[in-house]
Amino acid sequence: MHKIITFFVILLFCCSCSKAEQPTDSTGLGQNAGTITTFSPDKLCNPQADAATQKVYSILCQLYGSHIISGTVANVDWNTREAENVKSWTGKYPALNAFDFINFHSSKDVNAKGWLDYADISPVKRWWNEGGLVSCMWHWQVLANNGTDYTCSPGNGDKETSINLNDIDNPSSSTYKQLIKDMDQIAGYLGKLQAAGIPVIWRPLHEAAGNTYEFDGGRAWFWWGAKGAEPFKKLWRLMYDRFTRVHHLNNLIWVWTSQTADESWYPGDDVVDIVGRDRYGLLQYPAMKDFKNLTSAYPHKLITLAECGNGDSNDIAPLGKIWDKGAHFSWFMTWYDYDYNNGKGADHRFAGAAWWKDAFSHDYVVTRDEMKSLLQAE
């Protein structure tokens, strides 16, 4: 059981992390001796970021190197079911919950036959009000080649998409117009969160490079990476510009997800706040290697384990072993198990009770009650 920690008032520096200032442990969580990372973070890439968003980023910077924030992802879309699993197993909630806009075409505000409502932000608002950090991602589904289904997968099959991202330079193309339409819909939901005072750790267009660099014949498995690095970077910058300059979304912390060895895909320091890595079946030595490589490539960015869990060949190592090898990620986020959440499996596919109990046995793992105290500190 995680020990009860008395929180001190957090000393937020300038409400945002500024370059050349070294974070010290003023969180009141207690230092994990010998693990403070020498780190000089960039400021948020959006100079208009609101005060609440700057505060969240400052907390992330303050904790970096001495603590790791625990996180889960919604069971498909707009809920906290995985976080509830963790609570039932451990008695504590994870500090972060991620929500996915994957089914945005089926939202009731745009589809009369829709089965969920992204315009109803109450699940997200409730999580934030209870002291949890909010992250959002977007499995951006576009119309498949068969004209009826939606998909993220590139290709020429019926249930794949042949969307041509090379048309991103042509505002009169059908591709460009559809991209703008979809982005504007998502911006509307993010705008509702901004109006409610909710900062969002925003992780779009993840895993763009796929396994392109892992072996011969590797490829991107999402359409936003299928045409290569340059069209992808243009799409990222188009989204950043659309969200910040057109929709004036100043509540976003921008997370780019690396596949490692994909520096040519990096959109740029001016449009990225945090660099993430998605890893399944992660063992402690590969974790150490990933963390070392990413901190070397992006020395002024927080590095996070943006997705994790058991893999096809290996189970994820206990968090303590990953941490002890020096992989001091900003946060981790375990993936959801749809079958388990619907009563079809006895054991969780990606991270079950034993893994989470071990994680919360370490004092450097931040839970929601602890995050709430940090967020409420003046």
The residues annotated as belonging to the active site are 207, 307
What is the SS3 assignment for 70-90?
Answer: CEEECCCCCCCHHHHHHHHHH
- Amino acid 351 reads A
Q: In this structure, are residues 212 and 259 in contact, taking their beta carbons and an 8 Å threshold?
A: yes
The pairing of beta strand 150-151 with beta strand 142-143:
antiparallel
- Amino acid 240 reads Y
| Distance between CA atoms of residues 221 and 160, nearest Å | 11
Q: In this structure, are residues 75 and 33 in contact, taking their beta carbons and an 8 Å threshold?
A: no
- The Cα-based distances of 375 to 123, 168, 285, 378 in angstroms read 19, 39, 33, 8
The H-assigned helical ranges of the chain are 51-63, 81-90, 122-129, 174-195, 229-241, 284-297, 319-324, 338-341, 353-360, 368-376
Q: Which helix (H) or strand (E) holds 340?
A: helix 338-341
Bridge partners of residue 201, in order along the sequence: 135, 253
- CA dihedral 203→205→206→208, nearest 10 degrees, is -160
Query: What is the Cα gyration radius of the chain?
Result: 20
The pairing of beta strand 252-258 with beta strand 200-204:
parallel
- The Cα-based distances of 74 to 82, 135, 202, 204, 287 in angstroms read 6, 10, 14, 15, 24
Q: In this structure, are residues 196 and 210 in contact, taking their beta carbons and an 8 Å threshold?
A: no
Q: Is 290 helix (H, G, I), strand (E, B) or coil?
A: helix
| Distance between CA atoms of residues 334 and 348, nearest Å | 11
- Amino acid 216 reads D
Show the tokens assigned to 90.
């451990």
| Distance between CA atoms of residues 338 and 340, nearest Å | 6
